[in-house]
Amino acid sequence: MAIQTIPTQTFAGQRPGTSGLRKKVTVFRQRHYLENFVQSLFDVLNAPDAAGEALHGKTLVLGGDGRYHNREAVQTILKMAAANGVQRVLLGQGGILSTPAVSAVIRRHHAFGGIVLSASHNPGGVDGDFGIKYNASNGGPATETLTEAVYARTQAVTQLRISDAADLAIDALGVQQLEHMQVEVIDSVADYLAVMRELFDFDLLRGMFARGFTMRVDAMNAVGGPYAKAILEGELGAPAGTVVNATPLEDFGGLHPDPNPVNAEDLISHMMAADAPDFGAAMDGDADRNMVLGRNFVVTPSDSLALLTAHAKLIPGYKAGLLGVARSMPTSAAVDRVAQALGIACFETPTGWKFFGNLLDAGRVTLCGEESYGTGSSHVREKDGLWAILAWLSLQGATGRSVESLVREHWQTYGRNYYSRHDYEGVAVEAANALMADLRGALPGLMGQVFGSRSVTLADDFSYHDPIDGSVSRAQGVRLIFNDGARVIFRLSGTGTEGATLRVYLERYEPDPMLQDVPVQTALAELAGIAEQVAGIASRTGMNGPSVAT
């Protein structure tokens, strides 16, 4: 075997979005497309600024969610890593590692960083999406500074370095040699399980199942299956069959592994049935998202973050209390009220987990969450689906109460933040960009405007000033905030691969317990009307309503 230097040509559009580079499988399978991105990443990591260390001679973690093209990409990246001076790769068995598991492995093994192969909640299969993302030594998604540097390099790269060695056997545990690099195939679950054991009272959870607690976890044929099975059924004694769709499939069995009440309809119907289990949950393609449900009751992600914050001390890993909390800007302000009551800081960041990293590293926050079914803590630097499921299981075990009664009690204490996200998918890119540009232009005139019983007290385009490194991220979403605290937010998705997706986030606060049981879309209808009036969504998109409302 020998290291080859191969000439290449650049590709347009290799700029990572909200969470890595995501494209259609057909795009990724173009000759040298993946290679160019990986070479650009290695070039940047091997030429750090004066303060930084180089990847050369260090350990890299590698794994993905098992979707179509995962195994092929693993082989390519191994051969390129060997040719670019990596000393050791820790590879998940069969090329499998969930996103939170990559984060856990990087941290526990003090690796230089890791590569996650996933397009996360995007559909998989031959006609689906593929993705690649780099995580740094803290276990978290690369900062915008780094991803921009990689993007710049993709536009300049002229040659690839790759070993011509034969494919490695990636299904059996053990150490192999590839050029001067060691490849260690590791158990995909072990490190992650060790982290969960440190945080949760496994005896308490075991006792729940022993006493007949019932649960249904839908892994949606994605990477969360092996983790949920090993922990819930293996460690905690939940009956076999508690985790369904538990084998990762290359096309997710045709399911769309983006857990929300629309895509996880089978789980919803089980949870709404007369013989529903006590607790239900689902995860996304790479197992960093979670949806939690009680019997006949769906928990919104924003409420989930608020409740976990309020009850964190019931969980051993958080019994000393929380340093602070953070939520993405479009996430509802439900957690803000809890933070205020607890006397802890609450940070508001742009969409995307990468913005939580600095706050977590600096010890400013312990819990983080996003409205998009993402919740997590300082135990890793990614959102973590199974962690959230275990946390909710723990709340039920420690209080002896149902999901529904916990949430209703929360609303009584803190008030309810009615919340919904309306997605308009497959919009023509020009139309979506024009809608956003016109909204931005209209902002000054919107200040103070009256809509029905409300008036606009803030109309802006959200900018984030990172309190730790001083970096500024602009144009993160157009916000209309009203005098009663209600909010209407507009932004374009940064993870889609077809046309543009407009996301409209609606929120209003209801303190009166007598008025907390209105259907969500009814409770938010007036705000949806304002969004339409201000942005002209129907005429610009040609759509009379959202593709998905969650």
Q: Footprint of ligand VG1 on this chain (CB under 6 A)?
A: 18-19, 120-121, 284, 288-289, 328, 351-353, 370, 372, 374, 493-495, 503
DSSP string, 66-97: --TTHHHHHHHHHHHHHHTT--EEEEEEEEE-
Interaction partner, residue 493 (ligand VG1, Co ion, none; CB < 5-8 Å by kind): ligand VG1
Asked whether 64 and 76 are in contact (CB, 8 A), the reply is no
Residue placing its CB nearer to ligand VG1 in the complex, 487 or 503 = 503
Residue placing its CB nearer to ligand VG1 in the complex, 202 or 353 = 353
Task: For residue 95, give the nearest of 248, 241, 207, 254 by alpha carbon.
Answer: 248
Residue placing its CB nearer to ligand VG1 in the complex, 85 or 376 = 376
Q: How far is the CB of 491 from ligand VG1 (least distance, A)?
A: 7
Parallel, antiparallel, or unpaired: how do β-strands 345-349 and 324-328 relate? parallel
Residue placing its CB nearer to ligand VG1 in the complex, 19 or 394 = 19
Asked if 218 is part of the footprint of Co ion (rule: CB under 5 A), the reply reads no
Number of residue whose CB is nearest Co ion? 120
Q: How far is CA 257 from CA 140, 176, 221, 524, in A?
A: 22, 33, 8, 27
Interaction partner, residue 372 (Co ion, ligand VG1, none; CB < 5-8 Å by kind): ligand VG1
Q: In a 10 Å sphere around its CB, with 0-12 CB exposed, 13-18 middle and 19+ buried, how is residue 90 labelled? A: buried
Catalytic site residue from 40, 98, 103, 120: 120
Interaction partner, residue 353 (Co ion, ligand VG1, none; CB < 5-8 Å by kind): ligand VG1
Residues 6+ apart with CB under 8 A from 177: 183
- In the chain, the amino acid numbered 445 is G
**Catalytic site includes residue 372:** no
What are the b/e assignments for 379-418, b being 16+ CB within 10 Å? bbbbbbbbbbbbbbbbbbbbeeebbeebbbebbeebbbbb
Interaction partner, residue 503 (Co ion, ligand VG1, none; CB < 5-8 Å by kind): ligand VG1
Residue placing its CB nearer to ligand VG1 in the complex, 188 or 331 = 331
- The size of the interface with Co ion (CB under 5 A), counted in residues, is 5
Interaction partner, residue 370 (Co ion, ligand VG1, none; CB < 5-8 Å by kind): ligand VG1
Q: Which range in 28-36, 116-124, 172-180, 387-395 contacts Co ion by CB under 5 A?
A: 116-124
Number of residue whose CB is nearest ligand VG1? 120
**Rounded distance, CA 194 to CA 199, Å?**
9
Residue placing its CB nearer to ligand VG1 in the complex, 179 or 348 = 348
Q: How far is the CB of 14 from ligand VG1 (least distance, A)?
A: 17
Cα 49 to chain centroid, rounded: 29
Q: How far is the CB of 348 from Co ion (least distance, A)?
A: 21
Asked whether 352 and 18 are in contact (CB, 8 A), the reply is yes
Asked whether 112 and 181 are in contact (CB, 8 A), the reply is no
Interaction partner, residue 84 (ligand VG1, Co ion, none; CB < 5-8 Å by kind): none
**Rounded distance, CA 479 to CA 530, Å?**
12
Residue placing its CB nearer to ligand VG1 in the complex, 92 or 397 = 92
Residue in 14, 40, 120, 304 binding Co ion, rule: CB under 5 A: 120
**Rounded distance, CA 540 to CA 461, Å?**
20
Asked whether 460 and 443 are in contact (CB, 8 A), the reply is yes
**Rounded distance, CA 69 to CA 34, Å?**
11
Mask of contacts with Co ion, 281-300, x by CB under 5 A? ---x-x-xx-----------
Asked if 384 is part of the footprint of Co ion (rule: CB under 5 A), the reply reads no
Q: How far is the CB of 285 from ligand VG1 (least distance, A)?
A: 7
Interaction partner, residue 253 (ligand VG1, Co ion, none; CB < 5-8 Å by kind): none
Q: How far is the CB of 496 from ligand VG1 (least distance, A)?
A: 6
Binding site for Co ion (CB under 5 A): 120, 284, 286, 288-289
Catalytic residue numbers, as ranges: 120
